[in-house]
Structure 1
């Protein structure tokens, strides 16, 4: 198949630091906040299945604000033609990357041949990636585990990388655990299988021409710095959601750039016009504010901030006044003083 004409240049971006795709968490509301705090972090959508895009409300699933760029769309699926169709949609809607999920271990996605179970079918993954690459000029990347139960050897991991990279795919985001497909919940699969960061380091040594991004259990920027001595990039998940102010030091520490915003108070105030526009679209305040609860994590008044929002954001007619009143519960002087520490 002849590839389409090269579209207008996409946003320039780096995968040196990424926030992982997380179901129900990396929504447009969280991503808007994250982008205010860090300009250079690469953000990912929640996983969207090909069926949802092709047969469902694609406008709802692909909705995002241009302020979120750079932004990658993560797809779940195993039908090459359907994935190609969705990759074209990603390009049409302005995303900067399309990523194939080969790491989710839940029973629900396994039953639809989505996620980590695809590690047992490297040739199929390669076919999917090839069709996606043919359909779009966006970079096509793969997020996967280091293995699954029954296919957890180093040689089998290398077979997977060899097979998929033969398509021309050059970016692999590697969760440094195997996935156990029977008997463990998704939460347990994030905690019980041991982390093997050294395997990801070895991948970079074996495949220096590929871009290898490490993921799994990473919580601090100091840990990120250590991993970056061995890999091309780091992807952080749950910590970046529960403590979004972690992102405030990403630009200066990992990209040599200035912080785009000074304080948590400033971040929330700058988000108010966006929230107001979302309310005007008919979005309930509580759907937005549940992604903001971690903003004052570890701060004096942070617990009161979370409680006030949790108790009031879901009330009928709740608006910006809920956030303004919650914000008043956190001493701004302490937030500003943190800049000098």
Structure 2
């Protein structure tokens, strides 16, 4: 499959959300979506418990490792480690606006350092044989998005970046919290469209505020790919329609209850390894949105899934509280 088809639809990397359990869950609903890890810093990878940080289930492919860092040598070393672990892509975070990211000189603050970002991309390209991509904002603080995004894009593409994922908002590092940065800066999809028009041979994926597959199809008329974030996580039932709606292929499962039946062996294996049930089931909160019994499902997991020694029967009991119409009742 061509690179642009591999990136036609993706679930965004989200801190504290897109861990390995979440990604296995998402993969069961769509064979085609590209999945991303939470951002991992180069320091954590180089000096931390790599198996704990980087280990993932083989079913997750295609899956990308998102890195946070700014030192080209460290980025290259971390990218090579990620490739050796089996990841299908290395993605550099140039969009996260958290205070921790600012203090570490990576994430969105790197929008002001396009040449340094390009050095990092070039170093990673020399170190690995898998695609290297960049996820950014359209600008930060008082930057002019027309200038800032163009400068970053042209430099990283010249350095060999295989694709650019653009969150179509500015990040205000001075004055807004990380949570506020997800909603308050206005979306500017047209700026991303103009970038694609200016760089027709570059793979451009759009991200930010996209809430449905219907909206994704509208964007796909103007750019190469779409990345869903909170909409995919909070309402995971949307992913059931990805393969049929965006790729013209049969979905792996027709209903969420079938997804959970397929998920059970994975959960049982993880519980045997000492993983707590809640670490997995916390990703299921929105699974039955709009279906009779959804509230009872959530309540049962919240009250019982956190108990010491909670087993897979807790999830089975919760699922039994959901009506048989366990497919999303609203349009994807």
Which range, TM-score by smaller chain? Answer: over 0.9
Match of 1:3 in 2: none
CA deviation string 1:281-309 (max 9, x = no partner)? 11011111101111111211011000000
Contact kept, 8 Å, 2:93 with 2:136, in 1: the verdict is yes
Matching residue within 80, 84, 89 for 1:92: 84
**Which of residues 117, 134, 139 in structure 2 aligns to 1:147?**
139
CA contact (8 A) 1:12 1:70 kept: no
Residue 80 of structure 1, aligned match among 72, 89, 93: 72
Partner of residue 6, structure 1: none
Match of residue 40 from structure 2: 48
Whether 2:304 is the aligned partner of 1:315: answer: no
Shift of 1:321: 0.8
Encode CA deviations 1:291-332: one digit per residue, 9 max, x unaligned. Answer: 111111121101100000000011121101101110110022
Q: CA deviation at 1:13?
A: 6.5
What residue in structure 1 maps to residue 189 of structure 2? 197
Aligned residues of 1:285 and 1:313 also touching (Cα < 8 A): yes
Measured after TM superposition, the shift of residue 235 of structure 1 is: 0.3
The alpha carbon displacement at 1:335 in A equals 2.3
Give the Cα–Cα distance (whole angstroms) in 2 for the partners of residues 264 and 160 of structure 1: 41
Q: Secondary structure at the match of 1:290?
A: helix
The yes-or-no answer on 1:268 pairing with 2:260 is yes
Match of 1:324?
A: 316
Aligned-residue CA RMSD in angstroms?
1.8
Match for residue 335 of structure 1 among 315, 322, 326: 326
State the partner residue of 1:24: 16
CA distance in 1, matches of 2:230, 2:184: 16
Distance 1:152 1:107 in 2: 22
The 3-state SS of whatever aligns with 1:176 is strand
Is 1:33 the counterpart of 2:25? The answer is yes
Aligned with 2:134: secondary structure? strand
Equivalent residues in 2 for 1:231-242 (5 A)? Answer: 231-242=223-234
2:174 to 175, 179, 182: 182
Distance in 2 (CA, whole Å) between partners of 1:12 and 1:35 is 19
Unaligned runs of 5+ residues in structure 2 are none
Q: Secondary structure at the match of 2:287?
A: coil
Match of 1:208 among 190, 200, 212: 200
Supply the distance in 2 between the matched residues of 1:144 and 1:335 (Cα, whole angstroms).
37
Q: Contact 2:237–2:328 at 8 Å: present in 1 too?
A: no
**Deviation for aligned residue 1:155:** 2.0
**Superposition pairs of residues 206-285 of structure 1, within 5 angstroms:** 206-285=198-277
Match of 1:5 in 2: none
Q: Which moved more, 1:182-191 or 1:232-241?
A: 182-191
Shift in alpha-carbon separation, 1:275–1:12, aligned structure 2, 3 A: farther
The structure-2 alpha-carbon separation of the partners of 1:320 and 1:201, relative to structure 1 and needing over 3 Å to count, comes to same
Residue pair 2:117, 2:156 contacting (<8 A) in 1 also? yes
Residues 127-161 of structure 1, C-alpha deviations (whole Å, 9 max, x = no match):
00000000000100000000011323302321111
Provide structure 1 residue ranges, at least 5 long, that are not aligned to the other structure.
Answer: 1-8
Write the distance in 2 (CA, Å) between the matches of 1:136 and 1:335: 43
How big is each residue's C-alpha offset from its partner over 1:148-194, in whole Å with a ceiling of 9 and x where there is no partner?
11323302321111111111213000000010001211110011111
- CA offset digits 1:83-102 (Å, max 9, x no partner): 10111111111110000000
- Whether contact under 8 Å (1:13, 1:70) holds in the other structure is no
Contact 1:71 1:97 in 2 (8 A): yes
TM normalised by structure 2 equals 0.96
Quote the Cα distance in structure 2 between the aligned partners of 1:156 and 1:328: 52
Distance in 2 separating the partners of 1:153 and 1:328? 50
